[in-house]
Amino acid sequence: MAKPRTYLTTPIYYVNDKPHIGHAYTSLATDVLARFRRLDGHEVFFLTGTDEHGQKVEKAAKDAGEDPQAFTDRVSQAFRDLTVTMGFSNDDFIRTTEPRHKAACVALWKVLAERGEIYLGDYEGWYAVRDEAFYGPDELTERDGVRYAPTGAPVEWVKEPSYFFRLSKWLPELLRRYDLPEGHPERIDIEPESRRNEVRAFVAQGLREFGEGSPKLDLSVSRTSFTWGVKVPGDEKHVMYVWVDALTNYITAAGYPDTSNPRWAFWPADVHFVGKDIVRFHTIYWPAMLLAAGLPAAKRVFAHGWWTNEGQKISKSLGNVIDPVTLVEEYGLDPVRYFLLREVPFGQDGDFSRKALINRLNGELADALGNLANRTLSLIQRNCEGKLPAEGDAAVGGALLAGVQALPGQVRDRLDRQEFHLALEAIMASVRDANGYITQEAPWALKKTDPVRMAAVLRHLHTALRCQATLLQPFMPETMSALLDQLAVPAEARDIAALEAPLPGGTPLPPPAPLFRKIETKAA
C-alpha cells in the first residue's frame, strides 16, 4: 500500500541580507524530515525559496545602488548557493519575482475578490518598515521620542488607501480548527504547544475585544506607498501586501491555479517550518485566506526558536552573526548538520557554542559512532577474511538486536513530531548499547575460545551499524553514505524497508576508513 504524499516547506527567506545560521537551521530541519520520509517510502515535495518584494527590499536595493530586480537576483543566488553548501535536497526553489508566482497571486486575489472577501478602505496605524507590519499602540514602547515595535523596529504613523481582507469573518472558524482533536482532517496543528497557546490567545483576545465581524480585525492587504510588488488586478496603483504575496508561494509551487498540475496532489502542506517570529502570519492570516478562497489549509505549522551565540543575542551590530558557510568549512558539513539538530530541542531557543559543537563531534561522532564502526569492521577484516559473517544465533544478540529492531519505529515517531534531538538520542543510545556489547562480548578474545560466537557477535554489530547508518542518513548524508559503503550495503538497499532483508553472509567488505576528523582542543 502506497504511503501518503508529503509536502514540506521552509519559509521563503527575505533577500535584504545574506543567509545566516537561522536560515540554515530552518531549512536543515525541513531537509532532514524530507529525507527521512523518502527513506520511509513516501513521495515527497520539499520547497524553499526567497521572498523578494516589498518596501524593505526596495529600500535595500536603493541603498546598494542597484535596480530591485538586479539586487534580488544577486541576493537570492546566495540563498540558492546555501542549499548546495548545506546539502539540502529541496525539489524546488521558488522566487516571488517569477512569472508563475505573480500569476498565482493574481489568481488568488481574484478568487477572494469574487467571493466578497476583499474590500477597499483606508488604513492608518503604527507601521514598521523593517517588519513590514502594523502594530497596536499597546504593543509599542517609546524611547527618546521614538516609538518601537516589540521587535525593536522603529514605527511611524501611516495613513493610506488599502484593500482589506475580511479576516474577522474567519477567526471563529480558525479557533474551531485549532481545538479539533489530533488526526482530525480539518485540524490546524500549531507546534510547539507554547506557540499554539500564544496564537489561540491572540485570536480569542481580538474577538473578545472587538467582536466577531469587526472591521478592526480585518487585514490590510495592499499598499500604495511603494511599487516593488505584485500589482493588484484592476487597480495597479496598489501592490499586494508582502504577506499576501509571500504566503501564496506555497500554492504557487504546487501548481496553483492549475489544480490539474500533478503537484497539486501534494496540497495541503503537511508541515510549514517557520521561525517563531512569523508564526502568526502562517497560523492566522494564511489559513484564513485559504479557507476564504475555498482551499484547504496547511495541516501543521512548526515554529522553532532562535539561536544565541556564546550566550549573546545575535546581531549585525555586535558582529556575532554566525555564517553557516564558515562553520561548514571549519568543521565539515555533516558534523554541523548533526550538531544543529542534536544540541537543542527543536522549538526552543538555544545557544550556539563552538565548544559544544566540538564536544558532540569528538564525543558522539568520532569516539562513539566512528570508533564502533572502526572496531567492528577491523575485527571482521582480521578475523573473518574481510567477509560478512553469516547470520548467527539471534540469542547472542540479545538486548542489542531487540533495540535495533525497535529503532526505526522510535525514530519515525519522533520525527513525525519534529523531535529531532530525541530521534538522534535514540540512535546514539543504540550506538552506546553496541559499544557496550562489543566490550562485554570481547570478540577479539572469542576467536580462540568460541569462534562461532565471535562470528555471531560481529554479524550482530554489523546489523546494528547498518540500521544506525541508515537512520542517520537524513542527518549526515555524506558520512553515512561512506559508512554504508564500508558495510557493503548496496545503493538500492539503503532505505528503511530494506533493513528487513539481511545481507548475505560472505559479502566482501572493503577495508574501513575513518569517518570523522576529531578536533584537537587546547588544554586549559
Structure confidence by residue, pLDDT tens digits, 218-250: 999 999 988 999 999 999 999 998 779 999 999
pLDDT digit string, tens, across residues 381-391: 999 999 999 99
Taking the C-alpha atoms of residue 230 and residue 102, their distance in angstroms, rounded to an integer, is: 6
Q: Calculate Rg over the CA atoms of the chain.
A: 26
Q: Look up residue 448 and give its three cell numbers.
A: 580462540
pLDDT digit string, tens, across residues 487-521: 999 999 999 999 999 999 999 999 999 999 999 87
Domains and CATH numbers, the chain: 6-305 (3.40.50.620), 354-500 (1.10.730.10)
State residue 16's pLDDT score. 79
Confidence of residue 522 (pLDDT cuts 50, 70, 90): low
State residue 524's pLDDT score. 41
State residue 173's pLDDT score. 98
Q: What is the DSSP string of 293-319?
A: TT-PPPSEEEEE--EEETTEE--TTTT
- What sign does the dihedral 269-418-340-86 (CA atoms) show? negative
- The identity of residue 272, as a single letter, is H
Taking the C-alpha atoms of residue 11 and residue 23, their distance in angstroms, rounded to an integer, is: 9
Q: What is the DSSP string of 55-78?
A: HHHHHHHHHTTS-HHHHHHHHHHH
Short-list 347, 341, 352, CA closest to 314: 352
- Crossing angle for the helix pair 333-342 and 477-486, nearest 10 degrees? 110
State residue 243's pLDDT score. 78
State residue 171's pLDDT score. 97
Grid cell 472591521 is found at 215
pLDDT at 138 over 50: yes
Average pLDDT score over the chain: 94
> Residue 133: beta bridge partners?
128
Q: Are strands 271-275 and 222-223 parallel, antiparallel or unpaired?
A: unpaired
The number of helix segments (H) and strand segments (E) in the chain equals 19, 19
Dihedral of the CA atoms 342, 474, 190, 106 (nearest 10)?
Answer: 130
CA distances in angstroms from 374 to 31, 273, 398, 427, 465, listed in the order given: 28, 37, 22, 18, 11
Taking the C-alpha atoms of residue 93 and residue 412, their distance in angstroms, rounded to an integer, is: 27
pLDDT digit string, tens, across residues 339-375: 999 999 999 998 899 999 999 999 999 999 999 999 9
pLDDT at 314 over 80: no
